[in-house]
Amino acid sequence: MSDVVLRGFGWRHAGRKAWAVRDVDLHIAHGERVLLLGPSGAGKSTLLAALAGLLPADSGESAGTIEIDGLDPLHARDRVGIVFQDPQTQLVMARSGDDVAFGLENRGVPAAQIWPWVSDALDRVGFPYPITRSTAALSGGEAQRLALAGALALRPRLLLLDEPTANLDPAGADLVRESLAQSRDDATMILVEHRVTEALPLVDRVVVLEPGGGVRADGAPEMVFAAYGDKLADEGVWVPGFTIPALRSATAATPDLVRAEQVTVAQRLASVSLGVGEGEVLAVTGPNGAGKSTLALLLGGLLAPTGGQVRGFGDERALHKWRAATLTGRIGSVFQNPEHQFVTSRVADELAVGPRRLGRTPSEIARTVDDLLERLRLGKLARANPYTLSGGEARRLSVATALATAPRLLVLDEPTFGQDRRTWIELVTLLATLRDDGHAIVAVTHDDDFVQTLADRTFQLGTARLKDPLPRRRRS
């Protein structure tokens, strides 16, 4: 366990005007378990990177001091373990056991000790497979458990966790939290996580960073949320106990705008029939591997089904045979990873791509772009490169690009995935407005809150049954 002391600490990345984090005074004692909160952009990840000794002096400018057991983090790296968001870019080796052994090899742990330590670490996180298990065959949650084992195998005295569940579906996130709870030892822990309710059982202290610099609040969770809950919720933190009223359609849905009839995709989707009409939000749910994303691609006219067909808009031809320009004028698809959709190097250009494809006049295009920039709060970023946006901004832009051609059907794959509360509310409100304007909306989602708040109908894949419209209910 480690003692962490920050005095007036600050860091500015080379080439940036603003400080990523500054004026932080903090003392974390041996064995404390701290949840580090703050709106996006408050510098939480930068602070963790600094503690992990991953900010070399030449990569930016620092202020104040930061010490782990009295040492500079650059010299305390063998005391610190860190787990990041994305499981895919943390695993190094092809076999699970080899991956845990990787860190031990780097530290020069004698070969005879490596394998006992590996099994010990795998036991602690509850990894259910033999050490020869291929890392490519693991689900996201299992891979993240393995990454945690890789960090724990090095017996860190300070364990840093940078949104370890943000890239996982709810089942995967549960796996990781279970591992964190059961592997609990006397190491000092600092956790960054925006799903606060689920993280609270793992911590005994909450520290809130102020975006402009400094620490806003620090103390026991109940105390911090009682005093700062409202403000944190406004800034996008998922504070426990803050609910959002349901937004249901006021009108009945029209007959199907697009309909899939007994579609199958080899090895990805078992036979499914469903349709969606204007003025409704259809949520597609189901376990991992049931083919939700595949169904979204089919309804978006992007994938050819192996069997059955998808038709709509009174067009004789199946959706996947339409030319791209026709498709984009009728159906807007929003992918799970926004970056897949970006094709230009400026936000404003990105919004102009679709309308230009449809042959709209320059003045029409300019009007569409300005309108969308304003509606989705992207005005200040019009000249920014889409790849440099934050997670929430990139999500808003990807939705905006789909709206630019005014399609009547919107198909979204996990639109609320990993979003902070503020972006979440904006998205849900926007989708409700679009639905009430007569758009048809299909959303593939794991997010129960999203279903409860917005869905007029739920289609559960795997069991392939259409549930009745949900009763009006509030988020709890």
Partner 1 sequence: MTLVVQPIADPSAPLARRNPVAKLAAALLFSLPLIATLDPLTPALALLIELAVVPFFGVRYGLLARRAWPVLVASLGLLVTMVLFSANRTGTLLLGLGPFDVTTGVLLSASGLILRLFAVAVPGVLVFATTDPTDLADALVQNAKAPARFAIGALAAFRLLPLLGQEWQMLTLARRARGIDAGRNPVTAVRLFVSTAFALLVGALRRGGRLAVAMDARGFDSGHPRSYARKQVFRPADIALVVVALALSALAISLSIALGVFRPIL
Q: Is 335 in the site for partner 1 (CB under 8 A)?
A: yes
**Distance in Å, CB of 433 to partner 1, minimum:** 22
Site for partner 1 in 104-143 (CB under 8 A): 104-111, 114-115, 118, 135-136
Q: Is 340 in the site for partner 1 (CB under 8 A)?
A: yes
Amino acid of residue 263: V
Give CA–CA dist 181/179, Å, rounded. 5
Give CA–CA dist 425/242, Å, rounded. 12
Q: Is 329 in the site for partner 1 (CB under 8 A)?
A: yes
The residue among 96 and 452 lying less far from partner 1, judged by its C-beta, is: 96
The residue among 141 and 300 lying less far from partner 1, judged by its C-beta, is: 300
Using a 10 angstrom Cβ sphere, with 0-12 exposed, 13-18 middle and 19 or more buried, the burial of residue 405 is buried
Give CA–CA dist 160/189, Å, rounded. 6
> Which of 7, 8, 62, 102 is the binder for partner 1 (CB under 8 A)?
102
> Which of 5, 54, 318, 406 is the binder for partner 1 (CB under 8 A)?
54
Q: Is 402 in the site for partner 1 (CB under 8 A)?
A: yes
Give CA–CA dist 163/184, Å, rounded. 17
Query: What is the residue whose two structure tokens read 């402009």?
Result: 212
Q: Is 343 in the site for partner 1 (CB under 8 A)?
A: yes
**Distance in Å, CB of 445 to partner 1, minimum:** 18
Secondary structure in 3-state letters for 65-127: EEEECCECHHHCHHHEEEECCCHHHCCCCCEHHHHHHHHHHHCCCCHHHHHHHHHHHHHHHCC
Q: Is 325 in the site for partner 1 (CB under 8 A)?
A: yes
> Which of 13, 27, 321, 323 is the binder for partner 1 (CB under 8 A)?
323
The residue among 21 and 118 lying less far from partner 1, judged by its C-beta, is: 118
Give CA–CA dist 283/414, Å, rounded. 10
> Which of 98, 198, 349, 370 is the binder for partner 1 (CB under 8 A)?
98
Tell me, by CB under 8 A, how many residues bind partner 1.
Answer: 65
> Which of 405, 416, 445, 458 is the binder for partner 1 (CB under 8 A)?
405
302: left (phi over 0), alpha (psi -120 to 50) or beta: alpha
- Residue 322 structure tokens: 């339409």
CA R_g for the chain: 24
- Residue 109 structure tokens: 């742990």
Q: Is 151 in the site for partner 1 (CB under 8 A)?
A: yes
* Contact status, residue 74 vs residue 236, Cβ threshold 8 Å: no
Q: Is 57 in the site for partner 1 (CB under 8 A)?
A: no
Query: Among candidates 17, 22, 9, which has minimal Cα distance to 73?
Result: 9
- Residue 348 structure tokens: 């404003």
Q: Is 353 in the site for partner 1 (CB under 8 A)?
A: yes
Which range of residues in 28-36, 282-290, 352-360, 453-461 is near partner 1 by CB under 8 A?
352-360
Query: What is the residue whose two structure tokens read 């840093």?
Result: 160
Q: Is 72 in the site for partner 1 (CB under 8 A)?
A: no
Q: Helix (H, G, I), strand (E, B), or coil: what is residue 457? A: strand
- Residue 5 structure tokens: 């002391």
> Which of 71, 93, 244, 451 is the binder for partner 1 (CB under 8 A)?
93
The residue among 115 and 242 lying less far from partner 1, judged by its C-beta, is: 115
Q: Is 306 in the site for partner 1 (CB under 8 A)?
A: no
Site for partner 1 in 417-436 (CB under 8 A): none
Q: Is 441 in the site for partner 1 (CB under 8 A)?
A: no
Give me the half-sphere count of Cα atoms (radius 13 Å) on the Cβ side of residue 232: 25
Relative orientation angle of helices 391-403 and 362-375, to the nearest 10 degrees: 140
25: left (phi over 0), alpha (psi -120 to 50) or beta: beta
**Distance in Å, CB of 104 to partner 1, minimum:** 7
- What residues make contact with partner 1 under the rule CB under 8 A? 52, 54, 77-78, 81-82, 84, 86, 88-95, 98, 101-111, 114-115, 118, 135-136, 147, 150-151, 154, 297, 300, 302-303, 323-325, 327-329, 331-333, 335, 337, 339-343, 353-354, 357-358, 387, 401-402, 405
